[in-house]
Structures are given as structure tokens and as C-alpha cells.
Structure 1
Amino acid sequence: MEASAMIHESYDVDVAVVGYGPTGLVAASILGGMGHRVVVVERHPSLYGLPRLTHIDGETARIVQAAADVDMALRATQALDSFKYLNADGEILVELPWAGESCGHPAHISMYQPDIEDAIDGRVRQYPNVVRLPGWQATDLRVLADQVELTARPTHDGAPPPDAPNVRQVGIRSRYLLGADGANSFVRTALGIGQSDFGVDERWLNIDTKVLRPLPKRFNHTMLFCDPARPHMFMPIGQKRQRFEFAALAGEDKDLLEDRGRAWQWLSQAHGLGPDDIEIIRQVLYPIKARMADSWSSGGRVFLMGDAAHTMPPTMGQGACSGMRDAIALAWKLDLVLRGQATEALLATYEAERRPHARTIVETSVLLGEVAYTMDPVRAAARDEAWLSGSMSSPPPFPLIGTGVIQTTDDDSPAPSAGTLAPQGIVSTPDGRTGRFDDVFGHSFTLVTRMGTDGLLDREQETFLDGIGCTVHTLFDGDVRSFRDEAGTYTRYLEEIGADVFISRPDFVVFGSCVAADLGALIAQLRDKLNYVGLPDAQKLAATR
């Protein structure tokens, strides 16, 4: 719901969200869909309408699936099969394999960001419990023991509001506040939270284009040219657009770089392209930084997400992906706390889980940038030799969730499969439903087993799983909870991990797995890790009536 002309002087809600980019959009949609009262404050009067990110992975596509009509959001995408690094002579130094599938989607996807934002925003607008305040700037923030107080004032085309006593303002009281307001976060600054700097300070010119006629096939790939004279790259933006980028050299003037004539000169010299081939729709010089907030929360009431918590070079294409992971990971934890199912201690696991995951991605992105973007000819020659000879060290593996709400062994280390991503396959049910698992069964805690469920769980276990919104499904034919595994996705997965059961979280992270005899212990550990307290007294009383 958009407040529009019906702006109230005050709002009393469960969660306030500051910022309505990809991270804030996901948070508002997930929390709104869970039925919580949400107010979103966004300084810009409308969605940006142009792409900034161009790549998401399969996990992030599944997050979009939870927050929107994913088929509408990804209607103009294409799967990416590789990421190629080339030297100044055009030789392939390394080709990262990007083909395959993850979470029921292509492992890597080239997409048009406005389609995703429009789709999530469309879902948010369907929720009467979510109020959007576009064109309003957060100006004051107070964190109290049991709530957060936020003041917002109207902006003029996104510019900061004047500091004058006669300017209209709204007050928002919320149990929790999420700062998803970007790298220059008001929320982070208002809380006095500092940042750790990873020492990256670069500028790149971004040239986004609309394709007017078919381009050579090489432009269907993501290619980074590691040329010490001037590193540059190109990548598709979905199906009908193309991005070109090049590094700004020291001392180059911003206005000259953003001059349209400079862009056409570069496109002609580097790629042989002109106005008959493409139309420039966006040209901007942007800074590349790598920073992380020293703390992601304040008083257990305010939480930072996305670029407000961490920024990184684009070398892995994981900036927005990481922000959307933040949003869904925090949303389901807030849901359990707001519904009285878990204590507020659960919220401390948000940063405990997400910080090391994001930090690994930031550090790997910095490392790749240092290697690929060097403008030192000597270092570049040594790099080329190392890559071409096969002696270059491989980057670290993509991180998993290694702490928090995951199954652990006796020495508190992650159990096998815990912290990995749960699969998503096509399923069908006896009542005729067919589709992706999440679309058929919902985005919640999930227990999947290959055993019959009659007598599998005792009454206390059933009550607990029902309380946290966990659905139970079995591959066992003829069971009341059975489903058909159309492509064998779940059968193969359980065989690969050597388990009879796995439990996954609403953010698709596998809590843990076990053989049949250990199911009671697995559920007990989940209950403990969630800081579960059960239904509030009022709900218990209502349930007995």
C-alpha cells in the first residue's frame, strides 16, 4: 500500500525498513507476506528504473521467487555459461565455468534489474499491511529499550529535505528497524557505526546500452580484459541490453569521462560498435569501494543489511546477491520473534551467520580485483604467465553458513550438509498441483524424508514444527504427505548426503540431516538453536477453545 496523499502523522508498526533497493524490497515483501506491519521509507520518489546489477546466481533467483512472481521478474534473462578473463592480446587466461543449476534456477543469470524490482514492488503493493513512503528521507533515529523511533521528511526528487521547522514530517515507531539504505547509509551514520576499509579505491565508467541489431556472439558472454593499459569488460544485461565498462585512469576528469562523445569513441575503438548497433541508455562514473560495517546492529533493535553493511568490488557479481541474502535471512528470524515463537536471542545469529559469509565474498572480490585490474605492466605479465602456466592459486571456495542456526557435531563444528543450500526440483502432489517445490509447498521451514510419516513424529515434535511453520513432505508413496519427485532431485540429494531426512530453513539453507534413528535429536537441536519458546499464552488459550 502506498501512502500517497494519505500520509499520517505517525505510524506504529512491527518493522520499519529504510531503503527500497533490492535488499529493502526483499525485506518488505517477505515480512509483508508473513503478515507483519511494515513501513518502508525511501528517499527517491520512485524505483530507479535502470540497471545497476546485471548478474544474480541461482540462490538469489530463489530469493526473488520467494518475494515476487519469479517468472515475471526473470522474463528477459539469459543463463550465463562462463566468465572469461583475457589478457591484453585477447588470450583466455582463465574461464570460470558458470553453467549448471542451483536452487532450481540457472547457476548464473544475466538479468535486467528493473524487471526484478518491478515484480517485487508489485507483490509488496498487494499487502495492505505494508505502507510505502517513496520520496521521504529518514532524518532522525532513536533506539530505545523496546522500540525504535524514526522521523522522516519529504524530499524533492530525492534531495535531502530542508532543515526547517515548517517542513512536514512523520514519526514511525517500530519494534525493529532495518537499514537497507545503501553505501552512504543514514541509519549506519546515525548510529555512529564505523566501517573497516579493505583498501579499494577505484573508478570505472559504466556504459549501459540497448541493442538495436544482433551483435557478434562474443557479447553473449561476460568477458574481462585484464589489460594493464586500461582494464575493461562487457556483459549482457538480460536479452536485449549490453553493458560496457572501463577503468578510469588516475587524473582523468569525471565530466570528460561522462561525456557521450567519449563513450562512443571507446565503443568504436575497443569493440567496433556505433549508434547503428546500440543506443546508450546510461553512462556514469562510479566508485568502487570495499568496506564493512564494524557492527551490523544496535541495541538488538536496528539491523544493517546490503550495502549499508558491506560493499564490494563487482568482480564476483555478488553485491546485490549478498544484500538479498541478508534480507531473507533476517526476515524469517524476525518473524519467529514477532510471533512469539523464539526469544530475541535468535536475532543475534543474523550477524553471526551473515558477517563471515559476506566477508569471504568481499575479500575474494578484492583479491580478484587486485589480480585482474592491475595497471602495473610487470605484475600483469607475471599474472598472465601464472594463469597460462596453470600455477595461479585458485580463489577460495564460495562460502557456506558455518555457525548460527545449523546442525552441529559434538565439537560444535557444522554437521555434514549443514549450512549448504537445499535443492529445489519440480514436484507434483496427489491433488494435482505441479511446479517448483517452493511454489507448491511455500517458502518456510521444510522437512523432507523418504520414510513414511505415519508415526514418524510425536505430538510434541509436531507441535513444535507447526509452531515454526515447518511443513513435512515425504517421497514415500501413498502417504498423506507424499509428493512425486518429478526429476529425482530429492531422491538423488538424500542419497548423496547419506540421509533419510533433511530440514531446510526459509532462506533455503539446510539446517541439518540425519538417518531415521536420529530424527528426534535433529529436531531437538533445531528447537534449541532457534531459542524456541512456543506459542504465546494467548494463542495457547485460543488453541484449546
Structure 2
Amino acid sequence: MAQTDFDVAVIGYGPTGLTAASLLGQLGHRVLVVERWPSLYGLPRLTHIDGETARLLSFACDIEEALRDSSPIESYIFYNAKGKRLVDVVDIPSLPMGFPAHISIHQPDIEAAIDRKVRSLPNVTVRQGVELTGLKISAGRVELALRAGDAAETAHARYVFAADGARSFVRAALGIERDDSGFNERWLNIDGERKRPLPASFEETKQYCDPARGHMFLPIGANRQRFEFALLPDEDTDEMERAESAWRILKQYHDVGPDDLRIIRQIVYTFECRMAQSWRSGPVFLGGDAAHTMPPYLGQGACSGIRDAANFAWKLDLVLRNVASPEVLESYEPERRPHVAHIMRTAVMLGKIANTHSRTVAFFRDLAFRFNLFPPPPPFPSLSAGIIQDDRRGAWGKAVGSVPPQGRVRIGDRIARLDDQVGYSFALIAERNPAAVLGPSRMGFLRSLGCRAFTLADDAGAGVERMLDIDRTYSSCLAGKNAAAMVTRPDTNLFGFAAGLKDVADLAEKLQQKLSWHATALAA
């Protein structure tokens, strides 16, 4: 390893680490990736992403390549033992994101697409088959002890982003404990590739909440299938991971056999729900499963890790460029922890519905759903703290910190989704050209921030581009919030709104304050 000094070391090369490495690498920083396994996993552990996560992945890779074997998920219905519908998890409200609200994906395609992007970046060093054996924080730097085969190596980084899984070495080395919700259930996971068409019902995602044995199935992309079965207390894990057990239980519940399916993965998982008590120690940060693990009933484990990476990368970029104060990084955990905690609580709630083993409890559960006494899963929350506008008055209050809808726009001669036009950066979208009210100082700040400024009117000028709102997504958003302009962050969250055009300068000033922006950045 020729280079030993890096801006940031990313530990772990699953979906969270891949995303972090790609974003930070594209931002121009010297990135070291350390992954103990010699290659990408290559099997579909992750099977679902939502439209918001697809937006974030579009910054990290060629999203069309990543989703080439994907399909929309129209429903995810929980049924009782008699096949009566209880709840459709897909009914959780969501805004148009430019992608289907829920997507069945083939994880290896996504990981390969991001990896291809990462390896195109000369400033990113990927070390697979290398194990992290120790880390020491000294004088604001992190010394990493590595082992590659029999050889010991040392590397240094200003910051570390640890996405090294639920059994995180980094978390353990830092002495960070986890809070445990007490949810622990063993399920048998069987992934297969279809040899011939299966009944049309297998194209749906269904969860059967049977006290005798909970089970579910879902499509994986276009030509693969997942089956999961709750294990009973007396069933041995090793026994249930044998092929004969898979064929026995598949035949019993679904009349599926070796002529229908080729098993590509069979494993017993223990679903858990745990949160690290702290996501940071000095210059070392935790993300993904290293920071939080949750049951799979919302399909949000990997989505949450990808959000972690997207939240962290732009903040670290500003700090590494020495244009924003390191205090910006203090917002990472306060922004992400409440969001993840909400999803974890909802996933546990759904898990208890799916894992009820008492027929009496299941009877009253079914009655509660029948008479609409059980509340539907709540929508995901907006950010409630951190780098967002403090003013929550008026029609826009609840939207601040949320992820706005995405539509198609024309900028110059190109028609595309807004994210494809803007990329992983800030954007100011105004009804009319705001340059005059911003003045040279605020326009200089936005330029140094890398913020693209747009007008929806035909009055573009120096530093402000014309945006033709083809789907009327942004004009409708502004009108619905009684606002004249809005600022979005690189991770697609809304920083805030300006009530009138004259208020855009104040909005820019608030953003500058929130970022603890260095005056020298403007002078440069």
C-alpha cells in the first residue's frame, strides 16, 4: 500500500460503506476502504429499497445499471393465519420521488454498480481481504492497524466512517455499547432463482402472521424469489440450514420443489433491534448496522445505512475543504438517530404482529384490525434538529427537514430528474431570480458552497439558471407552502423556505450560520 495518509477511511464495503466511499471519492477526497472479505458479497441479503433511497443511490452510481433487474413493489400485505388481510405496509404515505415508492432489487447489481463507480476514482484506494486489527486516536488523527494475509500494515486518516456491520470491530474497539429492544426472533431465509414461472401470487409480497409459524415471501428483482419462515423453539439452526429442510418446508407451505427453484442462499437469521449508545468517538463515526440494527419488516435496514452515508459525506466534505467548522459534524447523530429510532419502533411493532405465537393474542389482534382499532404505520418523520431552518411557522413548518418530491426539469437543453441535473449538492429553487436580493456576498457564499441557484421564471442571469418545471413539481411545492423559494441539501432533505423573494437573503444567511461557515471561504 503505497499511500498511507488519507482524509477518511471507510471501514466496511457493504451498501453503507460503498455509498460513503463513492460520495466522498467523487467529492475529491483521499479515501481508504478497508474490507475484510476479499470480494463483494454477491448474494441478495437486501431485497428492498424505497424511492428516497433510490435517489441517494443515484448520486453514488449509475442508477439505471443498479436497478436493471428490479421491479416495483405494489403491496406488502400482512395476513392472519386464515388469509384475512390485516395491513398493507406500502400504505405508509410517501411523496413522488422520481422512482417507484418501493422497489424489489437484486443487491449484487447495486453493489457492483457502486463498486464500478468507486474504482473509477483515482483518489479512492479499495483494500479488500484486509482486516482492521486496531485503531488509535491521537492528535486528531486515527492510526489504523491492518493485516493483509500475514503482513501487518499501518495507515492514517483524519476521519473514520465505520460501516462494518452489526458485529462492528470499530464499535467494540471504541467501547461503545448498544441498547437492546429485546426483540429477537430466528427466521429461516431461502433465496432461489426460478427455473420456471411460479404462480402469479408469488409476484406479490406477503407476510402471514400465523401463530403456528409465521412466514412470508417476496420477489427479488425480476427472476428470483425469497421465502422466510419463523423457526420454532425446538428447531435446530444447523438442521434448518440443510437443503433437505428447505425443500421440506417449501413443499409444505408453497408446494415448491427442485423443479421450480434453484436455491442460491439458505441461512438462519436472528432478527434483532439494537442501537449504539453513541455514533461517534472523536474523529470516528458509526453508520449502518454498526450504529443500528432492526427487524426487516419495513425493509429499511440498508435504506437507513445509505441515508447515514449520504447525511455524513457532504458535511465531512465541507470540513475537509476547511470552509465549514468541524461543528457541522456534530449534527450527524442528532439528525439521524431520531429518524432511525422511529423506523426501528415501527419495525418492532410490525414484527410483534408477525411473530405472535399465542392464538389468543392473535385472535384479539385480528379483531383490532377488523374494527380499525390498530393505527396504520406512521409516515417517516422529518429531521427535527441539526442543519435545518429553525423557523417552522406557517404552511411550511412540517415540511422543513423532510424530503421533497422530485420531478423532471429542463435545464439548458437537457430534460431529466432534478437529482440527475443537480447531483449531490445544494440547490436553491426560487419562483423568480433571487440574485438582486442576495447581493454579491450571499451569491459568493452559495458559489463557494457549491449550491446551484435556479429560477422558475424566464429571468435567469449571472449565477442563476433557468429551470423549466416540466411536471410542475417545484412550483406546486412552493405554492402549497406559501413560499417563494426553498433550499435543498445534498442528501435531498429540505433546509428551509423563504416566504417571499425578499426573504431569500435571510434564508441564505441562516444556512451560512448553521454551517459555521468560515469567512476565509468567501474571501477565496
| Both proteins in one fold, TM over 0.5 | yes
- State the SS of the aligned residue for 2:316: helix
User: How many residue pairs end up in the alignment?
Assistant: 517
Q: Post-superposition shift, 1:101?
A: 5.7
2:162 — aligned with what? 179
Is the partner of 2:79 in helix, strand or coil?
strand
Q: Name the counterpart of 1:227.
A: 210
Counterpart of 1:53 in structure 2 is 46
1:114 is aligned to 2:108: yes
Whether 1:528 aligns to 2:516 is no
List aligned pairs for 1:425-464, cutoff 5 A. 425-430=407-412, 432-464=413-445
Q: Find the residue that maps to 1:457 and give its secondary structure.
A: helix
The 5-angstrom pairing of residues 202-213 of structure 1 reads: 202-213=185-196
Tell me what 2:503 maps to: 518
Gap change, CA 1:394 and 1:416, over 3 Å in 2: closer
TM-score (norm 2): 0.96
Which aligned pairs between 1:370-381 and structure 2 lie closer than 5 A?
Answer: 370-381=352-363
Question: Which residue matches 1:287?
Answer: 270
Q: State the distance in 1 between where 2:255 and 2:392 align.
A: 61
Q: Secondary structure at the match of 1:169?
A: strand
Within 5 Å, which residues of 2 pair with 1:357-506? 357-409=339-391, 415-430=397-412, 432-480=413-461, 481-506=465-490
> Contact (CA 8 Å) 2:319, 2:325: kept in 1 or not?
yes
Q: Show CA shifts across 1:346-405 (max 9, x none).
A: 100000111111111111111211122111111111111111221113333312211100
Q: Which residue of 2 aligns with 1:162?
A: none
TM-score (normalizing by structure 1): 0.92
3-state SS of paired residue (2:4): strand
Letter in 1 for 2:491: D
Which consecutive unaligned segments of at least 5 residues does structure 2 have?
A: none
Q: Secondary structure at the match of 1:279?
A: strand
Q: Which residue of 2 aligns with 1:160?
A: none
1:410 deviates by 7.9
Is the Cα contact below 8 Å between 2:87 and 2:376 reproduced in 1? Answer: no
Q: Is the Cα contact below 8 Å between 1:340 and 1:535 reproduced in 2?
A: no
Alignment of 1:356 with 2:338, yes or no, is: yes
Aligned AA for 2:512? R
SS at match of 1:458: helix
- Alpha-carbon RMSD across the aligned residues, in angstroms, is 1.6
- Superposed, which structure 2 residues align to 1:86-101 within 5 Å? 86-98=79-91
| Equivalence for 1:345 | 327
Letter in 2 for 1:118: A
Equivalent residue runs for 1:12-51 within 5 Å: 12-51=5-44
Partners of 1:416 and 1:361 in 2: CA distance: 18
Alpha-carbon contact 1:54-1:237 (below 8 Å) kept = yes
Could you tell me how far apart the structure 2 residues matched to 1:97 and 1:290 are? 21
The whole-number CA distance in structure 2 between the counterparts of 1:381 and 1:446 is 52
Contact 2:498–2:504, Cα closer than 8 Å, also in 1: yes
Offset at 1:484? 1.4
> Greater shift after overlay, 340-349 or 167-176?
167-176
Q: Percent identity?
A: 48
Q: Hey, what does 1:197 align to over in structure 2?
A: 180
Residue 499 of structure 1 deviates from its aligned partner by 1.0
Aligned amino acid, residue 279 of structure 1: R
- Please tell me the residue identity of whatever aligns with 1:50: L
Provide the secondary structure at the position in 2 that maps to 1:105.
coil
AA in 2 matched with 1:368: L
Separation (CA, whole Å) in 2 of partners of 1:82 and 1:498: 34
SS at match of 1:109: strand
For residue 335 of structure 1, give the secondary structure of its aligned residue in structure 2.
helix
Residue type at the aligned position of 2:72: A
Shift of 1:416: 4.0
Q: Please, which moves more after superposition, 38-47 or 522-531?
A: 522-531
Amino acid at match of 1:487: D
Amino acid at match of 2:142: V
Give unpaired runs (5+ residues) of structure 1: 1-6, 156-166
User: Could you say what secondary structure the match of 2:54 adopts?
Assistant: helix
> Counterparts of 1:524 and 1:415 in 2: how far apart (Å)?
19
Q: Deviations over 1:438-497 (max 9, x none)?
A: 212222000001112452421110111111111101111252411211222112211222
Instruction: Measure, in 1, the Cα distance between the counterparts of 2:392 and 2:425.
Output: 27
1:422 Cα deviation after fit: 2.4
Any idea what SS the aligned residue of 1:487 has?
coil
Residue identity matched to 1:39: L
Question: Helix, strand or coil for the counterpart of 2:442?
Answer: helix
Equivalent residue of 2:318, what SS?
A: helix
- SS of 2:466's partner is coil
Question: In the TM superposition, what is the alpha-carbon distance from 1:94 to its structure 2 partner?
Answer: 1.8
